Amino acid sequence: MRCLVTGAAGFIGSHLVERLLADGHAVVGIDGFVDNYDRSLKESQLALYAEHPQFEFVEDFIERRDLGTLLEGVERVFHLAALPGVRSSWGDSFEDYSSHNVYATQRLLEAALGAGVARFVYASSSSVYGDAADLPMSEDARERPHSPYGVTKLAAEHLARLYHRNYGLATVSLRFFTVYGPRQRPDMAIQRFLTAARDGTPIMLFGDGEQTRDFTFVADTVESMVRAAELGQEGAVYNVGGGSTVTVNRLIEAIEEVSGCRLEVDRQVAQRGDVRDTCADTTRARADLDFAPTTQLREGLERQWQHVLARGNPIR
């Protein structure tokens, strides 16, 4: 079938496009190349499938594109395009977050409704929970975002539900928990730590390192999206976690073990918007999507480490 992937040149989006093409689908990708990190990295990801005969690419922002034309013949939408980042979402930059994460989603939902799209899968975030009172985090728990970024992701979730309840658009939202793996964004912790191990440079750690994260390998995340498009209950929300909840201090130790390099840690105070702990209750995804992660943290780190080595300079 014909699928639209927004954010097609990004970290998760590039992996999803590869999977859909491998499964025999035609894919239309759109990406506006927001300047949150080096464009050349996104272009290198796009180049992996840019010449595939079943792939079409559009460079533009959803906020200003003629979406009716873009969605012609599209049966499934996978909406990953967003401006990411908890710490950078404060202050004047919130206008950009509102535009890219909320307004763009509303425009795409409206266009998908008009185009008769059969399924709309939205990539949300565990950031909607904030500092949850109870762990693991359940989809039925109260959402209390701890950052402006989390607010925008939750707002877009609500829009997806509204278009389902009011118009019958078949939406499914997936709350991703700390996705990592090859081609991860350069600002994310695991990519920064592995790159520092390769280059022999210090890492900056915010907080005491005893905060925990539920790390999810990118291939498992992509699998959840494919299954959500096939099996997800219309209007539902699902947690997508990797089952590898560890402290950041333990993560650093694991990276040292995988890389064989000792990391020099520059410890800084905790940052605004950072939550203390995340841990996904994936009972609903297991039941409805028959989804369970298959990549353990050590294996995922080893695969990302090999990618970091292949892309950069040799270890000093």
**Count of C-beta atoms within a 10 Å radius of residue 233:** 14
3-class SS string, the chain: CEEEEECCCCHHHHHHHHHHHHCCCEEEEEECCCCCCCHHHHHHHHCCCCCCCCEEEEECCCCCCCHHHHCCCCCEEEECCCCCCCHHHCHHHHHHHHHHHHHHHHHHHHHHHHHCCCEEEEEEEHHHCCCCCCCCECCCCCCCCCCHHHHHHHHHHHHHHHHHHHHCCCEEEEEECCEECCCCCCCCHHHHHHHHHHHCCCEEEECCCCCEEEEEEHHHHHHHHHHHHHHCCCCCEEEECCCEEEEHHHHHHHHHHHHCCCCCEEEECCCCCCCCECCECCHHHHHHHCCCCCCCHHHHHHHHHHHHHHHCCCCC
Handedness of CA 292, 190, 21, 25 (dihedral sign): positive
At 269-288, the pLDDT tens digits run 998 889 999 999 999 999 99
The CA-based angle 301-302-303, given to 5 degrees, is 90
Hey, which residues are catalytic here? 149
Neighbours of 231 (CB within 10 A): 13
Give pLDDT tens digits for 10-55.
Answer: 999 999 999 999 999 999 999 999 999 999 999 999 999 999 999 9
Q: For residue 132, how many other CB atoms are within 10 A of its CB?
A: 21
What pLDDT shows up at residue 312?
67
Confidence of residue 183 (pLDDT cuts 50, 70, 90): very high
The per-residue pLDDT for 314 is 43
- Take residue 251 and report the two structure tokens written for it: 């993560």
CA atoms of 163 and 180, how far apart (whole Å)? 31
Distance CA 32, CA 22 (A): 24
Ordered by where they begin, the domains of the chain are 2-179+216-241 (3.40.50.720), 189-210+245-278+295-311 (3.90.25.10)
- Residue 12, judged by CB atoms within 10 A of its CB (0-12, 13-18, 19+), counts as buried
Contact 26, 2 (CB under 8 A): yes
Question: Mean of the pLDDT values across residues 178-206?
Answer: 97
Question: Which residue has better confidence, 264 or 272?
Answer: 264
Mean pLDDT (the chain) is 96
By percentage, how much of the chain surpasses pLDDT 70?
98
Tokens found for residue 93: 């930059």
Residue 98's contacts (CB-CB under 8 Å, 6 or more residues apart) are 152
pTM: 0.96
The CA distances from residue 309 to 133, 199, 294, 313, in Å, are: 39, 10, 24, 7
Interval 230-235 mean pLDDT = 98
